[in-house]
Structure 1
Amino acid sequence: MHKGIKLRHIRAFLDVHEEGGISAAARKQGISQPALSKTLAELEAMLGGALLIRRGRKTYLTPAGETFRRHALLALQELDAGAMALNGEAAGDVVTVGALPTVAGSFFPGVALDFTRSRPGIRLSISTGPNLYLLERVRSGALDLMIGRMPAAREMPGLRFDYLYEEEVVLAARSGHPFTGQPAVEALRHCDLILPPRGAIIRRIVDDYLGAQGIVEPRCAIETVSLATGLGLLESSDMLWFISRGVIARELAAGVLVSLPLGAQFMSGAVGLTMTREVQERPEIAQLVEMLHVAAQRRDQG
């Protein structure tokens, strides 16, 4: 490392990226904006190039900034690991995972139980939330990995995707729905719909399907991928819900919900692991990844 680079330079750079701007990062650190700007300028001068591009009040990483960010995060993780070791704590005590709705209620819980039983000294911290929110937490190092549908290509710089299995999007309804067993196209023309929010990974798949059926303006007043919300709406109405099968797998198996046949081969997508390229070097992460692959193979065979 350049002998002039201090921890304050690294934290200033990472905080500006995480907060999206110099003003917010300065408030987080409790220092003035000019002081933080000076620290960033010192860092860029020592590294010989711009790390951040400033557009208005927002900042964005340059290619050099993206490279430096990955290494800076690893350096801080090593420093934290050293501090924990001196305090008698193991660096790998916690594995942090982001679980998207498609795996949170069905596929992942069984793997999580098996993993914690095999690693009694490890605590598994599981977060849920929107795709873009969890992706940013993977990038920042706050999460070790994310499990769910494959992100769009534009969201993948600096990350890797490890394929597990294919999962379809289904059209769900309550048990006893008047259109049960009838063509989905007829139901779509007569029933109110619940769609995935704009920005959800499966929304494009759903929009493409509706467009192929000639439904340009679907009857939709509610958007969600939340199981609790979607289930409550379906049970109380004749609404139909486009959702990943994994989100409602238990409800389908129990007969609480049914899926209407869509008759489309393209209503599926890849589910897998999104992580940085370095994180799998930790033995506990490598073990969790292997267990997820084994579970995916069992799922495909069963």
Structure 2
Amino acid sequence: MSVAARIKFRHLQCFLEVVRLKSVSKAATLLGITQPAVSKTIRELEDALEVSLLDRSKRGIQTTAFGDVFLRYAGASVTALRQGVDSIAQVRAKGGAAVVIGALPTVSSHVVPCAVLNFKAAATGTVVRVVTGDNAVLLAQLRVGEVDLVVGRLADPEQMKGLAFEPLYAERVAFVVRPGHPLIGRTPFRLADVLDHTILLPSPGSIIRPLVDRLLIANGIGAVPDPIETVSLPFGRAYVRASDAVWIISRGVVADDIAEGVLAELPVDTDMTRGPVGLTTRADTPPSLPQLMLMQAIRAAAAEPAP
């Protein structure tokens, strides 16, 4: 068993009270246990650490050099634990608190629904509000506190000032069509063949639009003639299923549709569009307990295999 595993809360509590009161007897009275029990607990702690923490002399009880160092961390640990307990008690007592998530389309169909489902199972009484929009709008709302956290692709550096980003996974774009599309199974498949059909491109303000433009240019495709620009899943899904259009979109937006056979993915190498998806929060504002719990649920959902 490791040293840390051998140290219990009672060890820290006894040590802190003996140091604060400079007396084993007073600490025993305060803790409601016997003096021998306090002395035994301190010995167990010192044995686990293999150092002497307290100097017991005629001048009373003083901390050793090791005790001074340990005191800082023991106090911080107990304080953090008490704050955690108090935070949970406050959430359980008040209820009705709200957490507002800004969700980009890439996480709206899988990660965020799974995370919210697991979070609500904890029965914290917290109201979860999910808002969508383009990245610039959601980050602006995050800065002024209208949104508590944003889940989606990493924004450009100039948009991230004052914000913190935690990467969760990497994602690329996909070229998707309806089942039975003329391009499915075509041999050889050439990317230029998509120009024979209507192209649905990401909106100009979206994070992935510059990545898609670079991908097309790298494959010898310049301006796309007469495109439709959208990141809307309902519109894109309906339009593609009703036509021979080709939709270029973040794969996370359509991953469930691909897995269920509602849409099909063309064999296009899009690795150059791969980029991080994660949590964006305000760098200067510590998250509340409900926010921390929801963030953990999002991490767990993001770690699950994609469809």
Contact kept in structure 1, 2:143 and 2:282, CA below 8 Å: yes
- 1:136 paired with 2:136, answer no
Percent of pairs identical after alignment? 36
Q: Which residue of 1 aligns with 2:305?
A: 299
**Structure 2 CA distance for partners of 1:154 and 1:162, relative to 1, 3 Å:** same
Q: Which residue of 2 aligns with 1:82?
A: none
- The whole-number CA distance in structure 1 between the counterparts of 2:303 and 2:108 is 18
Q: Secondary structure at the match of 2:142?
A: helix
Q: Which residue of 1 aligns with 2:193?
A: 187
Contact kept in structure 1, 2:95 and 2:125, CA below 8 Å: no
Q: Which residue of 1 aligns with 2:164?
A: 160
Contact kept in structure 2, 1:191 and 1:219, CA below 8 Å: no
- The whole-number CA distance in structure 2 between the counterparts of 1:266 and 1:118 is 39
Contact kept in structure 2, 1:195 and 1:220, CA below 8 Å: no
Q: 283-292 or 190-199: which moved more? A: 283-292
- 1:252 paired with 2:224, answer no
Q: Which residue of 2 aligns with 1:239?
A: 245
Q: Which residue of 1 aligns with 2:204?
A: 198
Contact kept in structure 2, 1:279 and 1:285, CA below 8 Å: no
The one-letter amino acid paired with 2:152 is G
**Structure 2 CA distance for partners of 1:101 and 1:262, relative to 1, 3 Å:** same
The one-character-per-residue Cα deviations of 1:244-265 (angstroms, maximum 9, x if unpaired) are: 1111122111111001111242
Give matches, 1:262-277, under 5 Å: 262-277=268-283
Q: Structure 2: which 5+ residue stretches go unaligned?
A: 1-89
> 1:119 Cα deviation (Å)?
3.5
Q: Return the match for 1:111 from 101, 108, 115.
A: 115
Contact kept in structure 1, 2:171 and 2:250, CA below 8 Å: yes
Q: Structure 1: which 5+ residue stretches go unaligned?
A: 1-84
Give matches, 1:18-37, under 5 Å: none
Q: 244-253 or 260-269: which moved more? A: 260-269
- The whole-number CA distance in structure 1 between the counterparts of 2:248 and 2:299 is 27
Q: Return the match for 2:228 from 222, 226, 237.
A: 222
Name the TM-score, length of structure 2 as normaliser: 0.66
- The whole-number CA distance in structure 1 between the counterparts of 2:124 and 2:190 is 48
Q: Which residue of 2 aligns with 1:95?
A: 99
Name the TM-score, length of structure 1 as normaliser: 0.67
- The whole-number CA distance in structure 1 between the counterparts of 2:127 and 2:279 is 19
- The whole-number CA distance in structure 2 between the counterparts of 1:116 and 1:100 is 21
